[in-house]
Structure 1
Amino acid sequence: MKMLVRVILGLFVLESAMGVPSRRARQVEFDTYDSENYDVDLDNLNLENQDIYDYDDGLTIDEPQIEIGTLAPMVDNYQAPAASLEEEEEEEVPLRTFEPIIIPSTNITGGSGVLMGPDTQGGLPTCLLCTCLGGSVYCDDVKLESVPPLPKDTTHFYGRYNKITKINKSDFANMNKLKRIDLTSNQIGEIDRDALVGLPALEELVLRENNVVQLPKLPAAMTLIDVSHNGLGSRSIQREAFKNMHNLLYLYLTDNNIDHIPVPLPHSLRSLHLQNNNIQVIHEDTFCSSKDINYVRNALEDIRLDGNPINLSKTPQAYICLPRMPIGNLI
């Protein structure tokens, strides 16, 4: 009996298996359908089609198993984050208020150690009214009526385009490091006799466009003197004023009323500008040596005498030692 049941079940399984088309049969049927209805090269299909066939071959995707149970009740366990260290410090430290710091100024005698310098006549420290950079003090166009008190370590002073009328002896007293003074375009008409001679380091003096009528005695270390556009006359320059200035390179005296060349000139001189004056005569020994015909003055190669009532061609022996002729009237 058991044998008969097994036979019947075997026949049933065999019949069922024969009724299901095989994978090969389904593949042929699909290929035939595609070739009849679409122009597709089945041999060059990508691997994605193969994946489809493999997926149809009984591959299954495991579905996630969900266990149904009792969920724990939601509890509000949220806690605010702890304050940072900076926030804690802000909460603990009270706010502070700051008062403006006033830098006290000093008088002239105590100004050497003060950053802002001594007070000017307007009550402001010099380095607040002006601009101080290192040893240079710039006081251009700030409506000064006198030279302001300067820090003792000043090396260069610029007070251009102001209303300064006089240079006093005390203006630059004890300024042992001062090398340059530039007071262009002021109203200076008077300079104390000893206002500048006591400056051991002074090398450059520029007093262009003022009302200077008398040039004071200057230190021997000068390299540049510019007193152009002033009121200098025949007696405005001291006798032999430039003789001992062995480092003098540039002497500019243009646009004055000078009637003679201020000789003797130092051998170091390179440039002499005397245009627009009242010079009428040049002597043979003004530039050269009348006693030594072989003397050559190579340094002095820039002489301007144009604008003077003088004929340079009348004294040709006066330029024989120079590297080039002066500029001026030759007729």
Structure 2
Amino acid sequence: MFELRMSLQSLMVAPVLVLVILSPCPGIAAPPGEPDDEAFDMENYDLNNETEWENLDINIYGDSYDYEDLDQEIEVGTVAPDTPPPAIQPIAQQYEEEVTLPTLAPAPVSLDFKGPGLFGPETGLGMPICLLCVCIGGSVYCDDMGLDQIPPLPKDTTHFYGRFNKIRHVKKTDFINLNKLQSIDLTGNQISGMDEDVFRSLTQLQELSLADNNMQFLPELPITMKRIDLRNNKLISRGVHSEGFKDMSQLEFLYLSSNNLDYIPTPLPLSLRALHLQNNNIQSLHEDTFCNLHDRNFIRRNLEDIRLDGNPLNINLFAKAYVCLPRLPVGSH
């Protein structure tokens, strides 16, 4: 309807524009019915005269047209159909009707703090060990935690690291039932004593590090040992078991430097590769310390790293003690 009205108004305004444009042109014939040409003399025609404007009978807006009548005469048909289309169900509803998913019950999670659960046994601090320390696989890391005792460890522990704490004594119950334990590292504590049978039940133990402690006496060790590190302690010769290393057929590294040993703990296993005894109180060597007096052809092929420097010992005086070695010991001459 709005478009129709605009068209009609355009038609009514058009004559005015034509009149204004064409009337100044010379040589235009006067409209029929006019008395003479003087009526259209543009020089004498004064549009500023108000009387002339009043007498100008031009109905711009067309009073003879009734727009309401046009509204009644012109009817626009409805595009929409008579009956509405059926309602479309939401997509979610359609799938809900077609597919029904089974309900899955959540899997139970064990949070047994006091047993061999997810976070290991509970410590004396009221916290599971694997929340207090770091557990990665079978390794438990409790370094620099301010501990004054060995915490309860999970039964599947294979490697335990308790370095740089304040532990003074290690009890036989600290490693009980840990049949998979292979490595213990207690470097940098204040350990001055251990129960004699503290390691007896550890049938898989291969590495033991007690460096930088205050140990004077060494407890019995399993024969499965491969590496023993007792540097920077206060070990004395009578604090080491007689023939304590003899049956360790897999022992390769024995570090006993910076202690108070008077002699080398013999006999040494043939598997030994490195023996560090520097900075002790060793004053003499025996011919059978490294070699076999009953077999002059015996050669200790594996032992290539012997440190005896820092002892009150002149190694030149004990030449017969080295005849079976692939290399001479390091020490003062």
TM-score greater than 0.5 by the shorter chain? yes
Equivalent in the alignment of 1:270: 273
Cα distance in 1, alignment partners of residues 291 and 250 from structure 2: 19
- Kindly indicate whether residue 294 of structure 2 is the aligned counterpart of residue 291 of structure 1: yes
Match of 2:139 in 1: 136
Q: CA deviation at 1:134?
A: 1.3
What is the root-mean-square deviation in Å for CA atoms of aligned residues? Answer: 2.5
In structure 1, what is the Cα distance between the partners aligned to 2:88 and 2:260?
A: 89
Work out which of the residue numbers 110, 113, 130 in structure 2 matches 1:105: 113
CA distance in 2, matches of 1:164, 1:72: 98
Query: Is the Cα–Cα contact under 8 Å of residues 112 and 119 in structure 2 kept in the other structure?
Result: no
Shift of 1:290: 2.0
Q: Deviations over 1:237-284 (max 9, x none)?
A: 011110111111110001111110000001111110111111110111
Q: CA deviation at 1:141?
A: 1.2
User: SS at the partner of 1:318?
Assistant: helix
Shift of residue 104, structure 1, vs aligned partner: 4.3
- Does residue 165 of structure 2 align to residue 162 of structure 1? yes
Would the alpha carbon gap of residues 102 and 318 (structure 1) be closer, same or farther in structure 2, given more than 3 Å must change? Answer: closer
Identity of aligned residues (%): 53
What is the CA deviation profile of residues 34-62 of structure 1, one whole-angstrom value per residue up to 9, with x for unaligned ones? xxxxxxxxxxxxxxxxxxxxxxxxxxxxx
- Structure 2: tracts of 5 or more residues without a match: 1-73, 97-108
Q: Deviations over 1:93-149 (max 9, x none)?
A: xxxxxxxx993421xxxx23x111111111110111111111111111111110010
Q: Find the counterpart in structure 2 of residue 318 from structure 1.
A: 321
Partner of 1:29: none
Per-residue CA shift, 1:67-101, capped at 9, x if unaligned?
A: xx9654587x9xx9975529x99xxxxxxxxxxx9
Please say if 1:85 is aligned against 2:79: no
- Give 1:179's match in structure 2, choosing from 169, 178, 182: 182
Cα shift readout 1:222-247 (whole Å, capped 9, x = no counterpart): 11111111110131101111011111
Assess if the C-alpha contact under 8 Å between 2:233 and 2:259 holds in 1: yes
SS of the equivalent of 2:238 reads coil
Q: Which residue of 1 aligns with 2:251?
A: 248
Contact persistence 2:172–2:199 (CA under 8 A): yes
TM-score, normalised with respect to structure 2: 0.69
Partners of 2:120 and 2:267 lie apart in 1 by 41
* Paired residues for 1:20-99 under 5 Å: 71-72=76-77, 85=92
Q: Deviations over 1:13-32 (max 9, x none)?
A: xxxxxxxxxxxxxxxxxxxx
Shift of 1:152: 0.8
TM-score (norm 1): 0.69
Q: Which amino acid is 2:327 matched to? A: R
Q: Give the Cα separation in 2 of the matches to 1:271 and 1:104.
A: 45
How far did residue 326 of structure 1 move? 0.6
Specify the SS of the correspondent of 1:137: strand
| 1-structure distance, mates of 2:322, 2:227 | 23
Instruction: State the alpha-carbon separation in 2 of the partners of residues 171 and 229 from structure 1.
Output: 23
In structure 2, the CA distance between the partners of 1:84 and 1:160, relative to structure 1 (3 Å rule), is: farther
Runs of 4+ in 1 over 4 A off after TM superposition: 80-84
How many Å apart are 1:286 and its aligned residue?
0.6
> Which structure 1 segments of 5+ residues have no match?
1-68, 90-100
2: CA distance, partners of 1:187 / 1:207 = 10
Structure exhibiting the larger radius of gyration computed from Cα positions: 2
Q: Distance in 1 between matches of 2:170 and 2:79?
A: 94
Query: CA separation in 2, counterparts of 1:71 and 1:302?
Result: 111
Using the TM superposition, give the Cα deviation of residue 294 of structure 1 relative to its aligned residue in structure 2, in angstroms: 1.1
Code of the aligned partner of 2:167: I
